[in-house]
Structure 1
Amino acid sequence: MSSKIKHFFFISLPLFIFILYKISNISYNLPEENIPSNALISDCKCKRNEYVELDRQTNGNYLIRFKQATYELDPNKHVFTCDLYNTLKRGPNQKVISFSLFGKEKLYYKLIYDIAYKIKKLYPDHLIRIYHDESLDKSFMCDLECSQRHVDFCNIKKLPLDTFNK
């Protein structure tokens, strides 16, 4: 192989890989074709086809659909304490155990896995909300949410609280 071809190959290959990476991320972040435009979706890959659908009713309330569950929500009587997707997919009358987790200390990540497992055994009708900031590892959060369906992560910087009342 001539030196020009080698040089071209070594310069082109990383560029080609970078372009493929960008294209795959773009297509990954686009919603599936069957997801309605009025739907909320999870950031985790394992939940890509699980969406919360919202339909505004003539009385000002919202009809919420998640999987086979449907309920009506009066936005004037509801305070959201997690992101909309996680709050609405669970429906009304949630039983919640909350934790706060900040930083990248691996010991705490392991402890949260252990706590999630134990709470599922001791309180099977409860869910766990873990409040966090931007410092947590996203792959850790998705791994835990995907393996323990009773766990939701709530970014404190994205809490809607009174979204509908503004």
Structure 2
Amino acid sequence: MRLSPWSFNGSRIIYYILNSILYSFILFLTSHIIEYTPIAMNSLRFNYRRRPECTCYRHQLPPLDFNLILNLTENQTFLCSDYATRRGPHQRIISISLYGPKENKRFQYNQSLFFLNELINDINIIYPDDFTLRIHHDDTITLTDVICPIECQNPNV
């Protein structure tokens, strides 16, 4: 019994097609892993608790699922910082703006800091269930003197 040339070539063609699909999938998967792994690894290796300008460390946050970190790093441009990213999704945010003497002629350093600390205390009383105060500030508010101590002393800022 003789096999027709088509049946031999037909099974070989199917074999080549399946191999091509498999190799394409492996190539796609490898390129996807290479593209997103460095971002995720930087997010894991980077000490998210300390700003480069600060000498203190912010409070430690619970660990995030690796898949969640991958998803968050893809959308990181919408978040304020690595620390905010590590807080995870569905954050409850209270946001304020703090302008220094350049923008606000009535700015008084000590008085503004006093009211900011009072606001933080009030938020802890009124919203004790994991609300975060996000402070947006201009460049006249120094990170080392103002922002760093507040962030390091208050886990919800």
Given candidates 98, 116, 122, the residue that maps to 1:118 is 122
Normalising by the residue count of structure 1, what TM-score does the alignment of the two structures yield?
0.51
Write the distance in 2 (CA, Å) between the matches of 1:118 and 1:69.
29
Structure 1 Cα separation of the partners of residues 155 and 95 of structure 2 = 15
Equivalents in 2 of 1:111, 1:89: separation in Å?
28
The aligned amino acid for 1:70 is D
TM-score, normalized by length of structure 2?
0.53
Q: Is the 8 A contact 1:97 1:127 kept in 2?
A: yes
Cα distance change on mapping 1:48 and 1:145 into 2, 3 Å: closer
CA RMSD across the alignment = 3.0
Taking the aligned partners of 2:75 and 2:142, their CA distance within structure 1 comes to 34
Distance 1:48 1:79, change over 3 A: closer
Q: Is structure 2 residue 55 aligned with structure 1 residue 45?
A: yes
- Tell me the amino acid that sits aligned with residue 146 of structure 2: F
More strand, by proportion? 1
Q: 1:133 maps to what in 2?
A: 138
What amino acid does structure 2 have at the position aligned with 1:82? C
Structure ranking higher on relative contact order (CA contacts 8 Å, 6+ apart): 2
Name the structure 2 match of 1:108.
112
> Deviation digits for residues 97-155 of structure 1, max 9, x if unmatched?
0000010532222111110111011111200000112110222111111111100xxxx
Q: Which runs of 5+ in 1 are unaligned?
A: 1-34, 51-65, 152-166
Percent of aligned pairs sharing the same letter: 27
Structure 2 CA distance for aligned equivalents of residues 96 and 68 of structure 1: 20
- 1:81 Cα deviation from its structure 2 partner: 3.5
Distance 1:93 1:114 in 2: 26
Structure with higher helix content:
2
* Per-residue Cα deviation, 1:18-61 (whole angstroms, up to 9, x for no partner): xxxxxxxxxxxxxxxxx9984153223221796xxxxxxxxxxx
The structure with the larger Rg is 2
Q: Partner residue of 1:147?
A: 153
User: Please, which runs of 5 or more residues in structure 2 have no aligned partner?
Assistant: 1-41, 102-107
Q: Given the superposition, is the C-alpha separation of residues 146 and 130 from structure 1 closer, same or farther in structure 2, using an over 3 Å criterion?
A: same
- 8 Å CA contact 1:97–1:128 kept in 2: the answer is yes
CA–CA separation in structure 2 for the residues paired with 1:100 and 1:127? 14
8 A contact 2:91–2:131 mirrored in 1: yes
